[in-house]
Amino acid sequence: MSKDERPIAVKIAESVRSRDSRVTELSDFYRWYSEYTRNMSIDVRCIALDELVGWAPDPVTGNLSHHSGKFFSVEGLNVEAPGSPVPHWTQPIINQPELGILGILVKEFDGVLHCLMQAKMEPGNVNGVQLSPTVQATRSNYTRVHAGLSVPYLEYFRDSSRHKLITDVRQSEQGSWFYQKRNRNMVVEVTGDVEVLDGFCWLTLGQLHQLLAVDDLVNMDARTVLACLPFAGAGPLMAASSADSEFRAALLRSCQGPADGPGSTDEVLQWITDVRSRSEVIATKMPLRALEHWKRGDYSIAHETGRFFELMAVDVQAGSREVQRWTQPMIKPCDPGIVAFLVKQVEGTLQVLVHALVEPGYLDVAELSPTVQCTPRNFELLPPEALPPLLGEITGARPDQIRFDATLSEEGGRFYHARNRYVIVEADADATFDHPDYRWMTVRELVGLLRHSHYVNIQARSLVACLHSLSGQPSAA
């Protein structure tokens, strides 16, 4: 079989195993990256909401939107969830009906797939720059509403028929902060020459997997696109060998199996139907001005308890972005969160405990989420039954149970310093947890669902990328 005819899953598996690359050594990457970010000037200043330029509250509703009608708006949301621990609340929410593109360009060098990644500045990043997909653009971005520079490499994704489309699926984003937002997660393979612009570099999946373990380096948009790659199905290449640790062997087995067989997948789909049918949640947009228990100050709209999150505004001056200076509203969480998968080995195969979680911003009631996804501090004020049942298993895990542990950032274009501890904890094989909203699944089942919209939420997708990062060779080149 010629190199070009290899199935994409095989190319992916080979790239995962390529922990170093003839294109960019990881040590060179670090050198380049730190130099690039050092030279990048960025100044993000919190400003009063009234100081926003081009953004104004609607005189009637108080909803905040851009005078162009583009980008996004901040509105109010009324949530009724009868029978749940918090049956009613109101909150601000970001309404961004535009479908954006998150795209990674991939290309083989010496027969190994590489991803073109971008060192991208976003105002909400704690560290200014993070490693991002090749393209990360809202429709307003690329239709040039803010008269900025054009989006490099966009043409590969807007006219993908000229290249090989590997992944193209619309996925949701944070269901507690976004109203029905979706982005198109795309991977396009090219064979021709690609000019590498300033701020971009080629990395293998194996290299990206190593970088995932670094705090605040691989950004949320890169993680979700990586999770949507058609992993698995690579057969012998991903078969466990005697050299593997027991954990890695179980993980590899969990990534194999029929793509979407009639058996287990049907049961998973019926379970999702059941959760979505019995969960009643009615989310209705309301005027931002009319929110209950939220107070508008000069610098923020914040919950009267000081918990959850704030709506605030920033003035940004940056040395490298489509527009050099702008102001915008952002959402700033008050505390860091925890996002965790509990996993266990069952007859040599890794299983992941998934939670079908209802969030008000989802288009379709509930999505599969991590075992635990929460901001622990918020629960000091909520009824005890609202506390995620398995939080203690994560925060109290023994060091030898922790398979992955890194603090990663959420999207820096809308969220200010939003960080979560992403953890994968291995439970004992006999761990059980019987709850109709939770289910043990294989990685293969999750990957099968990722071909569709509305099934796996953004936090779980990040963890799927982290899980895949544990499947590479520990040391071999």
Applying CB under 8 A, which residues contact a copy of itself? 9, 97, 99, 165, 168-170, 184, 230, 233, 259-262, 265-266, 269-270, 273-274, 276-277, 282, 363-364, 448, 451-454
Q: State the Cα–Cα distance between residues 421 and 426, nearest whole angstrom.
A: 16
CB of 180 to a copy of itself, least distance (A): 10
The CA angle 360-46-121, to the nearest 5 degrees, is 80
CB of 144 to a copy of itself, least distance (A): 17
Would you tell me the crossing angle of helices 458-469 and 220-227 to the nearest 10 degrees?
70
142 vs 404 by CB, closer to a copy of itself: 142
CB of 78 to a copy of itself, least distance (A): 15
At 100, list the tokens: 């954006």
Q: State the Cα–Cα distance between residues 476 and 47, nearest whole angstrom.
A: 50
Q: Count of H helices and E strands in the chain?
A: 11, 24
SS3 33: helix
By the 8 A CB rule, do 71 and 140 touch? yes
Q: Among candidates 36, 206, 213, 188, which has minimal Cα distance to 116?
A: 188
203 vs 234 by CB, closer to a copy of itself: 234
CB of 42 to a copy of itself, least distance (A): 31
314 vs 450 by CB, closer to a copy of itself: 450
Q: State the Cα–Cα distance between residues 412 and 259, nearest whole angstrom.
A: 34
At 92, list the tokens: 């601000």
84 vs 453 by CB, closer to a copy of itself: 453
332 vs 451 by CB, closer to a copy of itself: 451
CB of 143 to a copy of itself, least distance (A): 12
Q: State the Cα–Cα distance between residues 87 and 203, nearest whole angstrom.
A: 47
DSSP H/E element including 423: strand 419-426
28 vs 364 by CB, closer to a copy of itself: 364
CB of 282 to a copy of itself, least distance (A): 8
Q: State the Cα–Cα distance between residues 218 and 445, nearest whole angstrom.
A: 25
CB of 343 to a copy of itself, least distance (A): 25
85 vs 436 by CB, closer to a copy of itself: 436
Cβ-defined contacts of 154-159 (< 8 Å, 24+)? 154/101, 156/103, 156/105, 156/188, 156/190, 157/101, 157/103, 157/186, 157/188, 158/101
Phi-psi region of 464 (alpha: psi -120 to 50; beta: other; left: phi over 0): alpha
CB of 256 to a copy of itself, least distance (A): 13
233 vs 337 by CB, closer to a copy of itself: 233
